[in-house]
Amino acid sequence: MSLKFPIYMDNHATTPMDPRVLETMLPYFTEHFGNAASRSHKFGWTAEEAVTYAREQVATLLGADKPEEIVFTSGATESINLAIKGVAEFYRDKGNHIITTKIEHKAALDTCKRLEKEGYEVTYLDVGPEGVVSVDDVRAALTDKTILVSVMLANNEVGTIQPIREIGALCKERGVIFHCDAVQGIGKTEFSAKDMGVDLVSITAHKMYGPKGVGALDVRRARPRVRLTAQIDGGGHERGNRSGTLNVPGIVGFGKACEILTKGWREEAARVKGLRDRLKDKLFAELDECHINGAWDDARRLPNNLNVSFSYVEGEGLMMAIKDVAVSSGSACTSSSLEPSYVLRALGVEEELAHTSIRFGLGRFTTEEEVDYVGDLVVNKVKKLRDLSPLYEMAKEGVNLKDIVWAAH
Amino acid sequence: MAYSEMVIEHAENPRNVGTLDKEDPNVGTGLVGAPACGDVMRLQIKVSDAGVIEDAKFKTFGCGSAIASSSLATEWLKGRTLDEASAIRNTDIVKELNLPPVKIHCSVLAEDAIKSAIEDFRKKQSAKRGS
C-alpha cells in the first residue's frame, strides 16, 4: 500500500470517522429523519427506537448500571459543564468545595474557574513529573464541604492514566460524588463506571471514530442517585437533564462507535501500542537528548500516546519541517496566547523543554508504513534543525545553557 | 495557521547557516532571545577593513518564522556597510516574509540580533584601538 499525504497522527485532537459508523448513520439523515420526541407516528417511533438502541451501546462501553443513565449531549465540553455545574448547583446546600487536578481539560478547568467566581471553592491538585494525581492528595484535600471530585481518565497531552478505581473507592467511602472525564481514555484502557465507583462520566463520539457534535454524560441513578440541575432548559428531553431535539444520526453513529470498541478495544489497543513503541524506539535509537514527558509504563499511559521533547529543537519549527505529518506541540508558538502548555508546566517540565515537545497520537487507521515513514522523517529533520540550532552547538561545546543570562522578550 | 511561501522557502532552504570564529576581531556576534521563550537567534557578521559586511552567518532555535527572519537578515546584510545594516527594520522583514501579527516578534528578534552583532563588532574594534 502506498502512503497517502498528509499523514494523520493527531488522534487526541479528533479521529476520522469509521466507515462502519457512517454507514449506520446514513439512513437517519434522509429516510428515518423523525424527531425522537414525536410520540404520535412511525417517524418518531423509529427515531426513538434507534436512540434507545444507541443508549444501550453507549451504556455497555461505559459500564453504566442501566442505559437510562445516559444523557446525550452535543459533546464532552457540554457533558463536563453539565456534570460540574449541575452537581455544584444542585448540592449547593450540602457544600461548596470541588476537587480537581491541574491537568484537566479546559472544559473542566474553566468551568471550575467560573464556579469560583460564584463563591465555590476549588482545589486544583498537582500531579508531579509522572503526570498522575496521587490518591493520598485527593484524600487530604477532602473536607466536609466537598461535594464533587472531578478527575480525567487519561490526559489529552501526555496520555497519562489516572487512578480512577482508587479515587472512586475513596469517594464512595466519603460519600462524595465523583465525575470522570473519560474522553481520551475510553476504549483505550480499562474502564467501567460501575466497577470503578464513578458517578458521572463524560465522553464524546469524535474521539472514538464517531461523528462530531454528539457526546454523553452518564449519570448514576442508584447507590447513590446523582441529581443535577439542568443547564439547558426547554422541552425536557433526556429526563429533563438536557433539553433539545436529539441529534438522531449522530447518536446512532455514536452508538455504533461504542459497539465497535466494546467488541475490539483490547486488540486495537495492543496493535496501536505496538506501532507507538516502534516509533518511540526508532526515535530514541537514532537521536540523542529525547525526553518522554510523563509516566511511560503501560499501566499509566495510553497505548496511542507519545509525547516527547527533542531538546534544542523548537516544536513549531519541527512541525513545519514535517508538515506532511499532522501532530501537535506544547510549544508556545502553536497557541495564540504564546504560553507553553499548562499540562507540561504542571508536570514540572521546564519551559525550554516544553517548547520542544511534540505529541504523536496514533489511532485505528495508523499503519506500520506510516510509522516508519514518520520515524525516518522526524529523525532526519531533528538532526537538520539541530545543525541549525545555536543551543545544540553550545551544549555540544560544553556550555551550560543555564549559566547564560538570557534576555527574556 | 498557514505559512507564507517566503517563510516556507527560507525555512526549508535556510541561507547562510553556520558559525564564524567569535574570537576574530573582524567578527561581531549577536545572541538574542531565550530558550524559555521558544526562540534564540545567533547572528554573526564578518566586516572588512573598509567597513563592509563581507559574510554573515546564523543559527536559530525557533519556529519557521524565526528561522526565516534570521535567514533573510543574513542575505540582506552581505555587502552592506554597518550604517546600512543598522537601517534594517523589523517591518522590512515582516513585509518581505508576509508575517502574520502573531509572528512579528520573530522579526523584532532578527532586528535585535543585527543590532547586537554590530554592537559586538564595534566594541571589539574600540577595544583593539584602545590597546
- Which residues neighbour A361 within 8 Å (Cβ) at sequence distance 6 or greater? A9, A10, A11, A12, A13, A304, A305, A327, A328
Provide the shortest C-alpha distance from residue A310 to chain B (in Å).
12
Model confidence pLDDT, tens digit, residues A355-364: 999 999 999 9
**Average pLDDT over every residue of A251-257:** 98
From A259's Cα to the closest Cα of chain B, the distance in A is 36
Residue A376 has pLDDT above 70, yes or no: yes
pTM over 0.90: yes
Backbone angles phi, psi at B89, to 5 degrees: -110, 150
* pLDDT at residue B114 tops 60: yes
pLDDT at A103 over 90: yes
Inspect the interface and report whether the beta carbons of A351 and B35 lie closer than 8 Å.
yes
Assigned C-alpha cell, A269: 489497543
- B31/A314 Cβ within 8 A: no
In chain A, % of residues over pLDDT 90? 94
Q: Using alpha carbons only, what angle is made at residue A394 by residues A389 and A398, rounded to the nearest 5 degrees?
A: 145
Q: Is the dihedral of CA A370, A372, A378, A380 positive or negative?
A: negative
Average pLDDT, stretch A33-56?
Answer: 97
| Contact in structure between A154 and A47 (CB atoms under 8 Å) | no
CA A313 to chain CA mean position, Å: 27
Q: What is the pLDDT of residue A409?
A: 60
Look-up: residue for cell 510549544?
A: A331
Give kind and range of the element (H or E) at residue A203. Answer: strand A200-204
Residues A302, A207: Cα–Cα separation, whole Å: 14
State how far the Cα of A99 lies from the Cα of A133, in Å rounded to an integer.
12
Q: For residues A34 and A42, what is the distance between their CA atoms, to the nearest angstrom?
A: 8
- What's the burial of A71, exposed, middle or buried (CB within 10 Å: 0-12/13-18/19+)? buried
A401 lies within 8 A of chain B by CB: yes
Tell me the C-alpha to C-alpha distance, in Å, between residue A220 and each of A62, A150, A177, A378, B112. Answer: 11, 15, 10, 46, 60
Residue B108's pLDDT band (cuts 50, 70, 90): very high
Report how many Cβ contacts below 8 Å link chain A to chain B: 89
B80 touches chain A (CB under 8 A): no
Own/partner pairs for A368-372, CB < 8 Å, 24+ apart? A368/A275, A368/A278, A369/A1, A369/A3, A370/A3, A370/A7, A370/A9, A371/A275, A371/A278, A371/A279, A371/A282, A372/A278, A372/A282
The stretch A202-214 carries a mean pLDDT of 98
Cell of A85: 455545574
Output the pLDDT for position A10: 97
**Strand arrangement, sheet containing A328-329:** A290-292, A305-310, A357-361, A328-329
Contacts of A89 (CB under 8 A, 6+ apart): A229
Q: Are B34 and A355 in contact (CB under 8 A)?
A: no
- Span A143-162, average pLDDT: 98
Query: Does A322 contact chain B (CB < 8 Å)?
Result: no
Q: pLDDT at residue A207 above 60?
A: yes
The answer on pLDDT for B15 being more than 80 is yes
Cα distance between the two ends of chain B: 53
pLDDT at A398: 93
- Which residues of B belong to the active site? 37, 106
Query: Quick count: other Cβ atoms within 10 Å of Cβ A181?
Result: 31
Position A35 confidence tier, pLDDT thresholds 50, 70, 90: very high
Q: What is the pLDDT averaged over residues B92-121?
A: 96
Q: What is the crossing angle of helices B90-97 and B64-77, to 10°?
A: 110
- Single-letter amino acid, residue B102: V
- Whether A290 shows a pLDDT value over 90: the answer reads yes
B12/B64 Cα distance (integer angstroms): 9
Q: Does A349 touch chain B (CB under 8 A)?
A: no
Instruction: Specify the pLDDT at position A86.
Output: 98
Active-site annotation holds for A112: no
pLDDT at B111 over 60: yes
Whether pLDDT at A44 is above 90 = yes
pLDDT one-digit tens code per residue, A130-141: 999 999 999 999
ipTM field: 0.95
Q: What is the mean pLDDT of residues A132-160?
A: 98
Report d(CA A115, CA A305) in Å as an integer.
32
Question: CA-based diameter of chain B, in Å?
Answer: 53
Question: Is B59 an 8 Å CB contact of chain A?
Answer: yes
pLDDT band at A331 (very low <50, low <70, confident <90, very high): confident
- pLDDT-derived band at A340 (thresholds 50, 70, 90) equals confident
DSSP-based three-state secondary structure for A321:
helix
pLDDT(A157) > 80: yes
Q: Does B2 touch chain A (CB under 8 A)?
A: no
- Is 70 exceeded by the pLDDT of residue B1? no
- Collapsing DSSP to helix, strand or coil, B109 comes out as helix
Is A339 a residue whose pLDDT tops 90?
no
DSSP state of A122: E
Contact A320, B10 (CB under 8 A): no
**Mean pLDDT, range A27-47, rounded to an integer:** 97
Whether the predicted pLDDT of B55 surpasses 90: yes
Q: What average pLDDT does range A1-24 have in this prediction?
A: 96
Considering only the beta carbons, identify the residue of B14, B36, B42 that sits closest to A390. B42
Separation CA A5–CA A124 (nearest Å):
41
| Residues in chain B within 8 Å Cβ distance of A397 | none
Query: Chain-wide mean pLDDT for chain A?
Result: 96
Residue A245 and residue A3: Cα distance in Å, rounded? 42
CB-CB neighbors (< 8 A) of A320 in chain B: 3, 8, 11, 63-64
Q: What is the pLDDT of residue A143?
A: 98
C-alpha distances in angstroms, B41 versus A128, A278, B114? 32, 34, 10
Cβ atoms of residues A115 and A84 within 8 Å: yes
What does the alpha-carbon distance between residue A74 and residue A307 come to, in Å, rounded to a whole number?
A: 29
CB-CB: which of B31, B59, B109 is closest to A389? Answer: B59
Select from B8, B31, B102 the Cβ nearest to the Cβ of A390: B31
Q: Is the pLDDT of residue B42 over 60?
A: yes
* Cα dihedral across residues A335, A338, A341, A342: positive or negative: negative
